[in-house]
Amino acid sequence: MRPVLVITCLALALTGAGAFAFMHARASSARAADASQVALGQKLFADPRLSADGRTSCATCHIPGLAFSDGKMIATGIHGLPGTRNTPSLTTTIASQRTSFFWDGRRDRLEDAVMDPFSNPVEMGLHGRAAIATAATALPDYATWFPSGKETPLAEADQAIAAALASYLRQLPLPPTRFERFTRGETTALDEREKLGMRLFAGKGQCATCHVLEGAHLTDHDFHRSGVSMDDIAARLPELTQGVLSRNLGGAALGDRIATHADEAQLGHFAASHKVSDIETFATPSLREVRLTAPYMHDGSVPSLEAAVDREVYYRGLDTGYPIGLTAQERGDLMVFLKAL
């Protein structure tokens, strides 16, 4: 090899290595930034100081051991105040890649959904969205993220808090469920009875039209009527829907209203879309880890998984006009399958 060629090769190798080292440094600093953002999100999530009673955090209602739901019929927030809806599982929200948030789909960005509970009057009770960044930046142990303390521009801190909470939730560990392992080709992850249950779920039961059997999704990302608690508001429907239209609220303000008015909470997706056909429709919940998230339905009115399945079998048949008749054996098969989700 002639010397000049050797030198060119060496130079090329060196620039290559340099570029690699540079890229590597960039990737690891991006990872470090991510880790710092996730750490902020995790800290905020569990911090009761960011609530009006100093005792309520996101983790009060989204409990890690319960797939980030709370096991209660209806959520209770500051000073034990009840809301109007059942707390959804946040690992399920992330795993199913939901495209709208809350039972009525009133938010379409996770970064917005994570901020609403802070100022909801029956959840964490801070006074307005601005109060969140004000409270967090004033706490000395947040100085790592907001070094100039109160000097950090509040709008900037607000965005950083929203992004951090969303990042924290997006990176929650989601070990594959048995059903997920099965869908990835591990045929023995489900036993024979569970496979029978799966066939009923997709076939005779027609459950999979809405709880789509696709990886972890188990939802069609759409809204449907459920018949749960329908009779409560039937007589007052004109008055209630008119009220929603004339107030014309959205986002956090709508969330505040829904959490404090049980009758309006029953209007479901209508409150967000204002379409008559959406009255009393609710987001199809993903059934991932449904065995952990009792009680069930938007208002938590169904106490057990068995009761939820019986209700769905009955109501879905009623809805289509073709009753779904399951034998006791088939019902049992369906149940074991749901517990593997």
CA distance readout (Å), 164 to 61, 145, 213, 338: 19, 10, 31, 33
Q: What's the CA angle centered on 277, arms 275 and 279, to 5 degrees?
A: 80
Task: Using CB under 6 A, pick the residue from 196, 228, 254, 271 that binds ligand HEC.
Answer: 228
Within 284-313, the residues that bind ligand HEC by CB under 6 A are 284-285, 287, 290, 293, 296-298, 308-309, 312-313
Compute how many residues bind ligand HEC; rule: CB under 6 A.
48
Provide, rounded to whole angstroms, the least separation between the CB of residue 75 and ligand HEC.
4
> Does 126 contact ligand HEC by CB under 6 A?
no
Is residue 169 a contact partner of residue 94, using CB atoms and an 8 Å limit?
yes
Task: Using CB under 6 A, pick the residue from 209, 242, 277, 304 that binds ligand HEC.
Answer: 209
Task: Using CB under 6 A, pick the residue from 75, 136, 157, 233 that binds ligand HEC.
Answer: 75
Q: How far apart are the C-alpha atoms of 333 and 170, rounded to whole Å? A: 33
Provide, rounded to whole angstroms, the least separation between the CB of residue 216 and ligand HEC.
13
Task: Using CB under 6 A, pick the residue from 47, 123, 194, 333 that binds ligand HEC.
Answer: 123
DSSP per-residue codes, 139-171 = SGGGTTTSTTGGGS-HHHHHHHHHHHHHHHHHT
**Which CB sits closer to ligand HEC, 58 or 190?**
58
Q: Is the dihedral of CA 120, 125, 130, 134 positive or negative?
A: negative
Q: How far apart are the C-alpha atoms of 127 and 131, rounded to whole Å? A: 6
> Does 206 contact ligand HEC by CB under 6 A?
yes
Phi and psi at residue 290, to the nearest 5°: -60, -25
Task: Using CB under 6 A, pick the residue from 38, 244, 258, 267 that binds ligand HEC.
Answer: 258
Query: In terms of Cα–Cα distance, which of 156, 6, 42, 170 is closest to 96?
Result: 170
**Which CB sits closer to ligand HEC, 31 or 247?**
247
CB count, 10 Å around CB of 202? 16
SS3 286: coil
> Does 270 contact ligand HEC by CB under 6 A?
no
As a dihedral over the C-alpha atoms of residue 76, residue 67, residue 132, residue 74, rounded to 10 degrees, the angle is -20
Query: In terms of Cα–Cα distance, which of 101, 100, 92 is closest to 179?
Result: 92
Provide, rounded to whole angstroms, the least separation between the CB of residue 248 and ligand HEC.
18
Site string for ligand HEC, 26-65 (x = CB under 6 A): ------------------------------x-x-xxx---
Query: In terms of Cα–Cα distance, which of 230, 238, 317, 237 is closest to 281?
Result: 230
Kindly indicate which of the ranges 18-26, 31-39, 117-125, 180-188 contains the residues binding ligand HEC, using the contact rule CB under 6 A: 117-125
Provide, rounded to whole angstroms, the least separation between the CB of residue 16 and ligand HEC.
44
- Binding residues for ligand HEC (CB under 6 A): 56, 58, 60-62, 75, 77, 83, 85, 87-88, 90, 93, 98, 101-103, 113-114, 117-118, 123-124, 165, 205-207, 209-211, 224, 226, 228, 258, 282, 284-285, 287, 290, 293, 296-298, 308-309, 312-313, 316
